[in-house]
Amino acid sequence: MSKEFLPFTRPSIDEDTIAGVVEVLRSGWITSGPQVREFEARLSDYFGGRPVRALSSATGGMEIGLALAGVGPGDEVITTPLSWVATANVILRAGARPVFVDVEPHSRNIDLSRIEAAITPLTRALLPVDMAGLPVDRTRLNEIARRHQLRVLEDAAQSMGASWQGERIGATGDLVSISFHANKNLTTAEGGCLVLNDEQEARRCELWRLQGVERFPNGDLDSTLPGGKHNLTDIAARIGLGQLARLEEFNARRRVLARRYFECFDRSLGCELPLEDFTSSNWHMFQIVLPGHVERGAFIEQMYAAGIGIGVHYPAIHLLTLYRQMGFKPGDFPIAEHIGRGIVTLPLFPAMRDQDVERVCEQTARTLKALGGQVRAAGQPNVATVSGR
Ligand SMILES: *Cc1c(COP(=O)(O)O)cnc(C)c1O
């Protein structure tokens, strides 16, 4: 490789945060404690004073959210087929059935105009995803939920710092789950949070978070529900505090880089670009859909050979083996399948330089021209060709 390797994402952890983590390590208290309480308080401020509980992952947060929404065996939850598989897996783990509704081609988010046709007497909740941090229309979403008396669990895993009509994602709505996985706009290495409606719901979230255990001043303890193990460590919370202080700066930098992509990207290559949104999105990812004749694996390989990391987020969930075994099949959700087959994530993270964007655009053009004649093998399985997320 002639040039320094450019990954598709990389967290920005500053020296102050590292020193803070070292302090926590030396403090004698490393699991959930004062740092978690402080992180939750700062997050609550960020979300307009709503109750927030920190968790070890957004996946755990969504499992808790579904439990709080009363979703269980026999229920249906409406969601998108174009997401990280956690979005649908948590529905299965609750014993409920995921009902997929295809996405819109431009936003790549669930098509709200098709949701009402998918609602049945068994529908209990809506579980939308903000792909790449581009928010689903919250006004229409909440209106549908109200009309049909459904709970909403927002899989806002990617939406930290995004907004809808000037209000932060998380500051409004029903249950909102956000991820602090290493790739997200705010990270705690692994972690997440759930934004809740009131203190009573927050208390129940705490029970689901840790074995349903309640402790009493006299030393007794009791357990009233089969909670799991989803608490965040103080080490992770300290990273989150350092990240939260810089979130606006990070997201501003992401927006600048995304704009640069739109300026530099050669639109004659036949790729589908993301929606050009500079009011709501937090630009968690910059994703293009490759032209149909280009074999994605070959594209990723050649970009990698040129020192550029490419991600795949995500193949359509209903075509993964687990879901095919449930009866889902190719053709069920054609737009999600089309996007899931050709989507790639180009490098975008706050520490990237403007010239890195130019380099990615130039190399993408070179690679696509070189692959011009290569046709995707028929019947090739729709799975990610790279490991990791
Ligand atoms: C990252 C992500 C998750 C899972 O978050 P974890 O914190 O890794 O559990 C769920 N849904 C979407 C859309 C994500 O991007």
pLDDT digits (tens, 9 = 90+) for 155-208: 999 999 999 999 999 999 999 999 999 999 999 999 999 999 999 999 999 999
**Rounded CA separation 107/85 (Å):** 19
Confidence at 375, pLDDT banded by 50, 70, 90: very low
Pick the residue whose CA is nearest to atom 14 on ligand 1: 157
Q: Across the strands, what pairs with 272?
A: 289
Give me the domains of the chain, ranges plus CATH numbers: 15-244 (3.40.640.10), 247-370 (3.90.1150.10)
Mean pLDDT score, 300-313: 98
Query: Which atom in ligand 1 lies closest to the alpha carbon of residue 83?
Result: 13
Question: What tokens appear for 168 in the block?
Answer: 């932060």
pLDDT band at 2 (very low <50, low <70, confident <90, very high): low
Rounded distance between C-alpha atoms, residue 209 and residue 64, angstroms: 7
Atom number, ligand 1, closest to the C-alpha of residue 284: 15
pLDDT for the residue 3: 77
* β-bridge pairing 151-155 and 167-168: unpaired
d(CA 40, CA 30): 16
Nearest to 305 by CA among 355, 367, 357: 367
Of 6, 10, 14, give the one whose Cα is nearest residue 244: 14
Q: What is the pTM of this model?
A: 0.94
Distance CA 251, CA 283 (A): 7
Whether 155 lines ligand 1, by a CB cut-off of 6 Å, is: yes
Q: Is ligand 1 within 6 A of the CB of residue 157? A: yes
What is the DSSP code string of 318-375? Answer: GGSHHHHTTT--TTSSHHHHHHHHHEEEEP--TT--HHHHHHHHHHHHHHHHHTTT--
Alpha helices in the chain (DSSP H): 15-27, 34-46, 58-68, 86-93, 115-118, 138-148, 199-209, 234-244, 247-264, 296-305, 321-324, 334-342, 354-370
51, 83, 234, 344 from 353: Cα distances, Å = 37, 28, 32, 20
pLDDT greater than 80 at residue 36: yes
Q: Collapsing DSSP states into helix, strand and coil, what is residue 63?
A: helix
Running DSSP on this structure, what letter comes out for residue 75? -
pLDDT digits (tens, 9 = 90+) for 132-151: 999 999 999 999 999 999 99
State the average pLDDT over residues 209-218: 96
Residue 297: the pLDDT is 98
**Is the CB of 76 inside a 6 Å radius of any atom of ligand 1?**
no
User: How many angstroms is it from 300 CA to the middle of ligand 1?
Assistant: 23
Rounded to whole angstroms, the Cα distance separating 156 from 134 reads 10
Classify 191 in phi/psi space as left (phi over 0), alpha (psi -120 to 50) or beta. left
Helix (H) or strand (E) holding 287: strand 286-289
**Average pLDDT of span 348-374:** 94
d(CA 79, CA 150): 13
Q: Evaluate: CB of 83 within 6 angstroms of ligand 1.
A: yes
Q: Whose CA is nearest to atom 3 of ligand 1?
A: 157
Q: In testing the pocket of ligand 1, which one of 53, 80, 158, 194 has its CB within 8 Å of the most ligand atoms? A: 158
Give yes or no for residue 133 CB within 6 A of ligand 1.
no
- Ligand 1 centroid from CA 59, angstroms: 6
Report whether residue 188 contacts ligand 1, using a CB cutoff of 6 Å: no
How far out from the chain centre does Cα 80 lie? 12
